[in-house]
Structure 1
């Protein structure tokens, strides 16, 4: 299930033509955090 959430995050980001950096800035997290979420890492 965690990977499914990451896939949805990535698909939504790509659909909106946003970079990981842009999403990270809006959410107040690092770009690496966005990458981790998209790849199913640290989704607890």
Structure 2
């Protein structure tokens, strides 16, 4: 019983970590794209 609960918790934690990692990567890419677009818009 306890082992099954621990296994479920472990799977949940793994899922949360994957979601968090994916989210931070997406945010980083978005910031990079925004920065690139901003630089292109600026007159040189």
TM-score normalised by the shorter chain: which range applies? 0.3 to 0.5
TM-score by length of 2: 0.38
Between structure 1 and structure 2, the one with the greater Rg is: 2
Between structures 1 and 2, the one with greater helix share: 2
Higher relative contact order (CA 8 A, sep 6+): 1
